[in-house]
Chains A and B, each alone.
Chain A
Amino acid sequence: MNVQDRRRILGPQNAKPITFSSVRSETDAGSSTEDDNARLVEKDGQGSMFIKSGLVSNANGSSYLELNGNSHYSLLVTSVYGPRPIRGSFTSQATVSVQFKEVTLERWSSGEVMEICNFLTNVFNAVIRLERYPKSGIDIFLNLIQHSDSKKSEEDISLVSILPYCINGITLALVDAGIEVVDMVSAGRYNRNVIAFGKNGEEIVGYWQDDNEEDILNVVQKCREEYFKGRETMVNYLVSKNSDSM
């Protein structure tokens, strides 16, 4: 394949990306075993979420999340475009698309990203009241500005860890856009499993499983706790925002 991208300025062909030597990696050794402890501390209320919506002015709705755990730090901008007319033949309900993009560092392959996008599309197909928007498309764009984890090395940071944030971000952006949803959806993560809930934790709208060693009921229980926390934060934000604007 010798297809050159002529639309972007790519720089010299023989350039190699900067690679840092792993001199420092010795100090990071053993962090993976601490991981579970770190999670427990986070659960005790160390993690915080900063929310702002309506940041992207030319989208129909948008949300900005700043997530600050004790070891990780993430910034996520979600924008929703739609419902807007689609070309082509009549459709009785809206079509949802989710795009995920890393704004600064690029670390995940497009295959992984596509998998996440498909998962999120499925979740929100179940959440958005599609039948209310015939002949329209709802396009959701996730922009991860930063995701860092001081405890983990680059290879260990998986997309799964930001999946709950994506779900929270999309929910808030949909609310900002005024698109009808069945319920405020949020998600929780336990190790490499992510479960998205609706209807007060009684309905599972999405289940992402990367390891099947855990007892499923235990996973559901753990994720539900995070779901309640996430939903509470979002609802509090929306209520306070509405009371401010009145």
Chain B
Amino acid sequence: MSESVEFTPIVFPPRVLARISPELSLQRHLSLGVRPCLRAFEEFREVETSDGNLSRYSPKCNNTNSNNILGSNVLKSGSTIVITSITGGIVEDTLSSNELQEDDGFEPKESSMGTYDKSDFATVYPVVDIERGRVGLPTDEEMIISQMLHDDIRSSGIIPKKALEVICGIRTTDRDGKPAILYPDSDDMESADLIKILSYKQTRKWNYCLYAKIKVFSRDGPLYELCWNSLMYALQTVQLPRAFVDERATDLKIPVRTRGRTATIRETYDLLCDPDQSVQLSLNKSNIAYASRCGVIDVDPDVQLPEDDDQMELDRQNTILVADLQGEAEETSITSTISVITDADGSFKSVTLIGGTSNVSPEIIKSAFRLAKKRSQDLASKIL
């Protein structure tokens, strides 16, 4: 029995290793001082952004007669492309008609800045669609991102409710049969028209609501931050069309019978939007913030490559902060993440810390915040 058993080590090319053991591949990369995507630890992906000419108000738009997109953005980060288009709807506000009567005149109410009452702020209704080569219902990820965007936009106080109120005009037809649209806040208004609008306005109130459709191509890592940033850019391009009712419709009343006994008179208005005139959506500029995500990973000393002699003295970091996670290996192996929405001055809108398996020290969190602020400053400078 003199047979000897030989062990031959199996060698995999890097791509195969990354596939079968992402954790090991990531650790090996980290021990070399780079990441699998070849970025440095604290390096973010470059972001390119434009409005993509999708909106009816973008300067090169050539289908203004049919386009109902009010604001848009195309964001490219690495190979990932996020296309956001914002459309609008008009919703009738039935509860606040009493409140409106107290609010005489058209001067905008003093916005209640500083006090972050959620009810003062509106949000958008996002639907995220990630291209993944499958058909069917939205995935968990899509639903979670949509819900988070919806909640975070409201809680960060970017869109004041006041900004979405419809200041309704009236379309009148003069003696020559030429239609003209009169708005209550325009300067050259005849007082008679103003009164007419005033008396009419007190009965009804409308608000715009904004829908965001977010399409993602080439998903490559966590997406929430990219979607948020794209939505942020898109919101800043939104123009709200002026809305008006037709003169003839202002005193139209239709009886509505509800449950037999109570008969109410219901006025119906056909609210139309002006194809030419629009106003910029007035966002709470000070609350505009951008998102970034960092991951924290412990370096496993067992899988470190053998060090050279001259490197022996160097005290190696054993917990690494990795900015802007990308790729399957980083996404699956880095379980501790810090997701921050902030502006350049560090007024944080949302901070999500997930403990995961790594030791997240206060120093790490501090440097993550520092990175997030820098990133936010960089992203804010990209606005067109």
Tell me how far the C-beta of A211 lies from the nearest C-beta in chain B, rounded to whole angstroms: 23
User: Which residues of B have CB within 8 Å of A18?
Assistant: 68, 70, 87-90, 208, 241, 243, 273
Pairwise interchain contact A55-B218, C-beta atoms closer than 8 A: yes
Pairwise interchain contact A20-B273, C-beta atoms closer than 8 A: yes
Interchain CA distance A7-B146 in the complex, whole Å: 10
Interchain CA distance A143-B216 in the complex, whole Å: 11
Which of the candidate stretches B22-30, B130-138, B297-305, B310-318 sits at the interface with the other chain? B130-138
User: Which residues of A have CB within 8 Å of B69?
Assistant: 104-105
Pairwise interchain contact A139-B133, C-beta atoms closer than 8 A: yes
Please tell me if B339 contacts chain A, counting CB pairs below 8 Å.
no
Pairwise interchain contact B90-A16, C-beta atoms closer than 8 A: yes
Interchain CA distance A22-B66 in the complex, whole Å: 10
Interchain CA distance A154-B56 in the complex, whole Å: 13
Mark each residue of chain A from 1 to 41: 1 if its CB lies under 8 Å from any CB of chain B, else 0: 00000011111101111111111110010000000000000
Which residue of the partner chain B has the closest CB to A59?
B133
Mark each residue of chain B from 263 to 285: 1 if its CB lies under 8 Å from any CB of chain A, else 0: 00000000111111000000000
Interchain CA distance A71-B62 in the complex, whole Å: 8
Please tell me if B67 contacts chain A, counting CB pairs below 8 Å.
yes
Pairwise interchain contact B68-A105, C-beta atoms closer than 8 A: yes
Pairwise interchain contact B66-A157, C-beta atoms closer than 8 A: yes
Within 8 A of A (CB), among B130-187: 131-135, 137-138, 143, 146-147, 150, 171, 179
Mark each residue of chain B from 46 to 80: 1 if its CB lies under 8 Å from any CB of chain A, else 0: 00000011100000011101111110100000010
Pairwise interchain contact B218-A56, C-beta atoms closer than 8 A: yes
Pairwise interchain contact B85-A103, C-beta atoms closer than 8 A: yes
Shortest Cβ-Cβ A-B pairs, 10 listed: A148-B63, A81-B133, A11-B125, A154-B66, A15-B89, A21-B272, A15-B91, A104-B85, A57-B218, A150-B62
**Can you pick out 27 interface pairs between chain A and chain B where the beta carbons lie within 8 Å of each other?**
A9-B127, A11-B89, A11-B91, A12-B89, A12-B91, A15-B90, A18-B89, A20-B65, A20-B241, A21-B171, A21-B273, A23-B275, A23-B276, A24-B65, A28-B65, A55-B218, A57-B218, A58-B218, A58-B220, A103-B215, A107-B66, A143-B131, A143-B217, A145-B83, A145-B215, A149-B66, A153-B65
> Which residues of chain A have a CB within 8 Å of any CB of chain B?
7-12, 14-25, 28, 55-59, 71, 73, 77, 79, 81, 99, 103-105, 107, 139, 141, 143, 145-146, 148-150, 153-154, 157
